[in-house]
Chains A and B, each alone.
Chain A
């Protein structure tokens, strides 16, 4: 799209994901889904890098594995687990919604409006409760010290 003359382009971009005004529940899930997706992608790159250290010999590998047992890295690993659980379960909701399964049929636009948001809200709440439970259980398991 070309910008018309004598107009002021306003700042757009990912800033609006985070600070786009007051969002609804699904709006925050949208933002978290993007953040968790990006985090998982970064983790994947890091994981490949760490695993490749095996090529440098057994000693290097064992030193690296010992370093991963530090509390900070264990906590970061837990965050990756949280991102994974959220992204997976919210992804299930998105697959269902984006295939038109949970949004209901077109309705008469009579006030007070109750549209697709209310139709899919129970699904979103159930999946987020399961997400919370899995994150809590994972925390109980992963954050136990001494680890393992």
Chain B
């Protein structure tokens, strides 16, 4: 078991950046950055702050900068890093609340701004009036990849454009916008268009692809943003094919590629299960 040095950037409310602080931690097989932080707080400095919840790469709480790269603390084993010194900083491109805790308010504000939900104009609520909105597997594949986003902010920290333009929407909200634009049940393209094509919208992305490289869930925001741009160009040229799927009206779902879903029947239980 090797001795590791956790070099942590400390921030205190009211005092600001108080510099780097070193902690010595003994590594163990399978140890993650998150395990190391717990060890430091339990045995060396109870005032160290960071954010975490699920410990298994699902909640998206523990994003931070590990040796100059944005990653999830729970997803990063110390054995996968080279050298015995591990530097930890709070996520870039966000204000810091304390130590390794970034303030993600801007992330969620930008996310809300792109209407990240199904928008339908044929009803007052979800457009279905209680009816099913059918979707074929092929239509699902158009956006399934982008539904894996856990809103951890790692892509936002990796984005070099966001570093010089804090008002840029950023990879996560733009990916969320494409996820719904590409959904066959959605008709919110026009509602989102103004925001996406605005001054700090998608056109500020120039494919550094750092977001896709950093994403711990394989969401590939850079791909979503480029596909988003293509959609808006096609819309500008008036050739974008778009017609939200109608609700299923008591018959087999109609789909764009002609695929018919099999009728759904509940199998009846055997009459005499004891026999």
* A contacts, CB < 8 Å to B: 1, 3-4, 6-10, 12-17, 20-24, 26-27, 29-31, 33, 94, 97-100, 103-111, 113, 115-117, 120
* CB–CB A113/B218 < 8 A: yes
- 15 sample A-B contacts, Cβ–Cβ < 8 Å, listed by A number: A6-B14, A10-B95, A12-B163, A16-B163, A20-B210, A24-B210, A27-B209, A31-B208, A98-B206, A106-B143, A106-B223, A109-B148, A116-B212, A117-B209, A117-B212
Question: Which residues from A are CB-within-8-Å of B95?
Answer: 3-4, 7-10
- Shortest CB-to-CB span from B101 to chain A, Å, is 9
CA distance A58 to B224 in the complex (A): 57
Question: Which residues from B are CB-within-8-Å of A113?
Answer: 215, 218, 220
Q: 4 extra interchain contacts, Cβ-Cβ under 8 A, other than A13-B164, A111-B218?
A: A8-B16, A99-B230, A106-B223, A117-B212
A-B contacts, CB under 8 A, total: 156
**B69 in the interface (beta carbon within 8 A):** yes
**B227 in the interface (beta carbon within 8 A):** yes
CA distance A110 to B90 in the complex (A): 28
**B189 in the interface (beta carbon within 8 A):** no
Residue count of chain B within 8 Å CB distance of chain A? 58
Question: Which residues from B are CB-within-8-Å of A7?
Answer: 13, 95-97, 103
CB within 8 Å for A21 and B68 given contacts A33-B206, A111-B218: yes
Question: Which residues from A are CB-within-8-Å of B143?
Answer: 106
* CB–CB A97/B207 < 8 A: yes
CB within 8 Å for A116 and B226 given contacts A1-B109, A9-B95: yes
Select from chain A the residue with minimum beta-carbon distance to B18. A8
Q: Which 7 A-B pairs have the closest CB atoms?
A: A16-B163, A100-B230, A113-B218, A21-B68, A115-B220, A30-B208, A109-B218
Question: Which residues from A are CB-within-8-Å of B162?
Answer: 12
* CB–CB B218/A106 < 8 A: no
CA distance A107 to B14 in the complex (A): 46
* CB–CB B142/A106 < 8 A: yes
* CB–CB B65/A21 < 8 A: yes
* CB–CB B223/A115 < 8 A: yes
Select from chain A the residue with minimum beta-carbon distance to B140. A106
CA distance A116 to B218 in the complex (A): 10
Question: Which residues from B are CB-within-8-Å of A26?
Answer: 207-210
**B166 in the interface (beta carbon within 8 A):** yes
**B76 in the interface (beta carbon within 8 A):** no
* CB–CB B210/A23 < 8 A: yes
- Shortest CB-to-CB span from B198 to chain A, Å, is 14
Question: Which residues from B are CB-within-8-Å of A109?
Answer: 144-145, 148, 217-220
Q: Which of B44-79 contact A (CB under 8 A)?
A: 65, 67-70
**B6 in the interface (beta carbon within 8 A):** no
CA distance A10 to B233 in the complex (A): 35
* CB–CB B96/A4 < 8 A: no
CB within 8 Å for A94 and B163 given contacts A7-B103, A109-B218, A115-B218: no
CB within 8 Å for A24 and B144 given contacts A14-B164, A16-B164, A113-B218: no
